[in-house]
Amino acid sequence: MGKLLRYMKRYTKECIISPLFKMLEACFELFVPLVVANIIDVGIANGDKGYVIKMCLLMALLGLIGLSCTLVAQYFAAKAAVGFTKDVRSSLFKHINSLSYTEADTLGTSTLITRMTSDMNQVQTGVNLTLRLLMRSPFIVFGAMIMAFTVDVKSSWIFAVAIPLLSLVVFGIMCGTIPLYKKVQNRLDKVTGTARENLTGVRVIRAFGKEEYEKRKFHSSTEELNKIQLFVGKISAIMNPATYAIVNISIAILIWCGALRVDGGNLTQGEVIALYNYMSQILVELIKLASLIITMTKSVACGNRVQAIFDIKSSQEVITCENTGNSQYKVEFRNVNLRYKGASENSLDNISFSVMPGETVGIIGGTGSGKTTLVNMIGRFYDATEGEVFIDGKNVNSYELDTLREKLGIVPQTAVLFKGTIRDNMKWGNENATDDEILEAIRIAQASDVLASKENGLDHIIEQGGKNLSGGQRQRFTIARALVRKPEILILDDSSSALDYQTDANLRKSIKNIDYKPTVFIVSQRTASIQHADKIIVLDDGEIVGIGTHNELLEGCLVYNEIYSSQFKREGE
């Protein structure tokens, strides 16, 4: 959490002004019991109505000044807290985007969402309350004790005993709850993950009739969260009754001792009331301080969880490598192995092949054979465990990631579009693209008819995730988005699965005729989609079992032959 405080440097002024004005407000509040004592001992005792009115007006003035100070303090505390949270959240988002797929897979989406939302909101609340109350409450507590000594030294020993006892209770409970709140947030991660999984896979759950199972699973997660929250809540709940008990016992002793001293003529009635008011102020402020400490405890736990994400560094650093690749090849794999973090065996084994500029490469294989894993290594989304990957004769580890990925146009398996106009979505590929360039990319992607059917054309609004488009329309627009970039290497990762055979064929023909001749990788489970490729790579259980043209593989690769025969037999072709 301490490392996050560097983001407060921009708000140094606010962090000074807010506590300062809260201290001023506290000073005015500490004078109120003395004014009340004078009203009783002087105004009421002497029947001086004018004095009473004057003192009441003075109290009202102290209240107005205190209110003004409070408003100023609240404003600057809120400004600092919101600004601090905005800066941290922006940096966190940027940091998460800098992580490789390996780190993102390890952490999990639900955890990252919780850290960005729930944890950051808790940190913001903690910062706001800390600026407002952290100095004010102790100042009132110790200030009230000092003021009590100015009223009557002998009665003030009660304050000297009560305050250490209260501090022991408050800080003891705080030390016990800090680690428990971390467990609460971890359970919240689990609940968020379960909820996200259910919302994402709601159709699959219904299709398989797993509603009751998922309800039980979600109930189990919430029950775990509920138990730990109740446990922490019970410990935290001890604070208020404990502080009330100590303070009220102190008040009872104070009134008893004060009555004896008034009866002996050593103390006035007004002074007893002043001492009582100071004790009440201490009670109120300690309750505030207890609540603040609980909030701070949660905030520190959440802040530590956020900092834990910042502490994770991307495994993909730019490494100076000896570039011994053959520069005549656009893409080259040399004895590449890949094992996912935490896996017991390789996902890819001894992958070696080379691709000339402008060639079209088809990649085919059964489910789980490593097709997507292979193309992800071209853009260095995963690093090779062993072996090397070259682009233009240069090891991909030697490229700055931005430079490397500017060469690529990638269409992932899941067609993702963002809320906004069609034009806005297309400009993800190239923010400087003209409308003519966008329309050309849409034409190549076989989406011109979809665009023509939209009343507003490029200004048509796409809903989040492209929910107002069909699966085939989403795929065509994601392909167009990649083409807008005019990439040197175009990767289509099973991106035409929702297209009919005619549209798929037209798409491949249009891509083949692109004037800037990109190197194209087509990942597909359809042999029809890749049979006209210059080179086809056949994968089976992470290994290459065949490389060649369609006809060569039909004759010499059993796996490809089986895939081809089963599909054409099933499809009646």
Per residue in 314-365, pLDDT (tens digit) is 777 777 666 676 778 999 999 999 988 878 888 999 999 999 999 999 999 8
In contact, 373 and 348? CB cutoff 8 Å: yes
pTM metric for this prediction: 0.71
User: Which residue has better confidence, 150 or 549?
Assistant: 549
Look at residue 269 in the predicted model and tell me its pLDDT.
83
Domains of the chain: 2-311 (1.20.1560.10), 331-571 (3.40.50.300)
Q: Residue 113 pLDDT more than 60?
A: yes
- What is the pLDDT at residue 528? 86
Residue 68: band (very low, low, confident or very high) from pLDDT cuts 50, 70, 90: very high
- Over residues 291-307, the mean pLDDT reads 82
Task: Give the pLDDT score at 1.
Answer: 64
| pLDDT of 546 | 92
Confidence of residue 492 (pLDDT cuts 50, 70, 90): very high
Q: Exposed, middle or buried: residue 222 (CB in 10 Å: 0-12, 13-18, 19+)?
A: middle
User: Per-residue pLDDT for 293 more than 80?
Assistant: no
Q: Which of 227, 234, 345, 247 is nearest to 288 (CA)?
A: 247
Q: Beta 461-462 vs 394-395: how paired, if at all?
A: unpaired
Neighbours of 139 (CB within 10 A): 19
CB 325 within 8 A of CB 393: yes
Q: Cα 443 from chain centroid?
A: 38
pLDDT of amino acid 570: 47
Residue 227: how many other CB atoms lie within 10 Å = 11
**Residue 321 CB-density burial (10 A; 0-12 exposed, 13-18 middle, 19+ buried):** middle
User: In the prediction, which pLDDT does 489 show?
Assistant: 93
- Segment 142-152 mean pLDDT: 81
Strand partners, 536: 362, 548
Per the model's pLDDT, the better-predicted residue between 558 and 144 turns out to be 558
- Containing 524, the helix (H) or strand (E) segment is none
Q: What is the pLDDT of residues 392-432, one digit of tens each?
A: 988 888 888 888 889 999 998 888 899 999 999 999 888 88
Mean pLDDT of 121-127: 91
- Residue 573 pLDDT greater than 50, yes or no: no
Euclidean distance between the first and the last CA atom of the chain, given in angstroms as a whole number: 64
In angstroms, rounded to a whole number, what is the distance separating the alpha carbons of residues 50 and 45? 13
The answer to whether residue 571 scores a pLDDT higher than 50 is no
pLDDT of residue 572: 44
How do residues 201-235 score in pLDDT, each as one tens digit?
888 888 888 888 889 988 888 898 888 888 888 88
Find the mean pLDDT for residues 5-22: 89
Per residue in 499-554, pLDDT (tens digit) is: 888 888 899 899 988 988 999 999 988 888 898 899 999 999 889 999 999 999 99
Q: Which residues contact 222 (CB under 8 A, 6 or more apart)?
A: 191
- Per residue in 344-370, is it b (16+ CB within 10 Å) or e — as a string? eebbbbebebbbeeebbbbbbbeeebb
Measured distance CA(426)–CA(419) in Å, rounded: 12
Residue predicted with more confidence, 179 or 40: 40
For residue range 422-479, what is the model confidence (pLDDT) as tens digits? 999 999 888 889 999 999 999 999 999 989 988 888 999 999 888 888 888 999 999 9
Q: Are 301 and 181 in contact (CB under 8 A)?
A: yes
Other Cβ atoms less than 10 A from the Cβ of 432: the count is 7
pLDDT at 154: 77
Residues 349 and 336: their CA atoms lie apart, in Å, by 7
* Residues 90, 68: Cα–Cα separation, whole Å: 33
Task: Give the confidence band of 2 by pLDDT, cuts at 50, 70, 90.
Answer: low
Q: For the chain, give the mean pLDDT.
A: 86
Element (H, E) at 335: strand 331-338
